[in-house]
Structure 1
Amino acid sequence: MSNPLPNIIKIAIVGPESTGKSTMSAYLAKHYHTVWVPEFARQYCEKLTSPCTYQDEVNMFYGQLDLEEKMLPQASKILICDTTFITIKIWSDHLFGKTPPEVLDELPRHTYDFYLLLDIDMPWVDDPLRDFPTLRSHFMQLWHKELQALNARYVVISGLEQQRYDKAVAAVDNFLSKTG
């Protein structure tokens, strides 16, 4: 699915667990006076009463797409996306050894204009939905690999607190200045 509102620039905030994606998404949305798409998987997993299944990954894929589609018309020039369904690919590969075919089919078609890959230099924060504090480097490498496979334009954002936010704004401003 391509962007039905071509004048809206889609910026994805991605990275391993506990890197501040939701907080960064909210910050950037406020800074740029727009809306942000929350991570559907978080809402979905909070309701699960048993471990996540392969079908749950498929459900989260469709849920993320639907949520993004619903939020897109509310955006003001920029839509900030708290993660993307690349996360479904990474988690499915890790947990089940395969990716749902619908995810693989959609990856090259459902693009984002720019990605901020949040670094793992933030302290780990425990959360019932976070599982792999010792695998953050592994997942960071996977994010690089997946973004490179898509030829995605991305920047790694590191630092703590305001420094991290300032770097993100500078990266987005730089990207926007080059897109006209």
Structure 2
Amino acid sequence: MNKIIKKIAIVGPESTGKSTISQQLAKYYKVPWVPEYARYYCAALTADCTLQDEVNMFHGQVALEESVLAMADTDFIICDTTFVTVKIWSDEMFGKTPQVVLDELHKRPYDLYLLLDIDLPWQEDSLRDFPTMREHFMEIWHKELQALDANYVVIRGIETRLQNAIIAIDTFLKH
């Protein structure tokens, strides 16, 4: 019988510390983490991102997550973002979401989402595009998570961000 491994997703707008806190949480709990596939994919792009690229990033994120889950020997894993990001970016950039993504949204739930707040200062990065639209994307994340009826907690704090995330995970794990 296969053990059910919980998935904890770290999500939010650009430059909210998702990758950093994902790695810190995985180290703290000694659990595997799934990196953000899109970051590697976009870094290798030689032209503007297309809707097909979004589909490719969806498949890549899912495959990466499934491979980590297959090897995990823990009660949970940490996911640095989810393919909900593909939906958000596709809607923003192309005005629509690929059907393959829409079909999978409710089939691949996460047990807990930590939605990182926009209270961190913007960090410039060649893969980040919208420094003036963080509030907009924060609202979209709330709407998307609510539409999924997701269990989520907003994580705030500059100095206390990691501790607040640990408290949220510990509280979740106790239930």
Same fold (TM over 0.5): yes
Could you list the runs of 5+ residues in structure 2 that have no partner in the other structure? none
Distance in 2 (alpha carbons) for counterparts of 1:106 and 1:5: 22
Give the TM-score, by structure 1 length: 0.94
- Name which of 71, 81, 84 aligns with 1:83: 81
**Secondary structure of 2:133's match?**
helix
- Corresponding residue pairs, total: 174
Match of 1:95? 93
What amino acid is aligned across from residue 131 of structure 2 in structure 1?
Answer: P
Letter in 2 for 1:168: A
**1:44 maps to which of 41, 46, 53:** 41
Matched with 1:17 is: 14
Q: Secondary structure at the match of 2:79?
A: strand
Cα distance between partner residues in 2 of 1:110 and 1:7: 13
User: C-alpha offsets along residues 116-161 of structure 1, whole Å, 9 cap, x if unaligned?
Assistant: 0000000000000000000000000000000000000000000013
Between the two proteins, what is the percent identity of the paired residues? Answer: 64
The offset of 1:5, in angstroms, is 5.0
Give the deviation of 1:77 after TM superposition: 1.1
Alpha-carbon RMSD across the aligned residues, in angstroms, is 1.1
Are 1:32 and 1:78, in contact at CA under 8 Å, matched by a contact in 2? no
* 1:19–1:122 CA contact under 8 A, matched in 2: yes
Instruction: State which of 117, 121, 139 in structure 2 corresponds to 1:141.
Output: 139
Q: Which runs of structure 2 are paired with 1:21-170 in the superposition (5 Å)?
A: 21-75=18-72, 76-161=74-159, 163-170=160-167
The CA distance in 1 between the partners of 2:70 and 2:58, in whole Å, is 20
Q: Does the CA-based 8 Å contact 1:29-1:35 persist in structure 2? A: yes
2:24 maps to a residue whose letter is Y
Q: In 2 relative to 1, CA 151–47 (structure 1 residues): closer, same or farther, beyond 3 Å? A: same
Q: Evaluate the alpha carbon distance shift between residue 124 and residue 5 of structure 1 in structure 2; reply closer, same or farther with a 3 A threshold.
A: farther
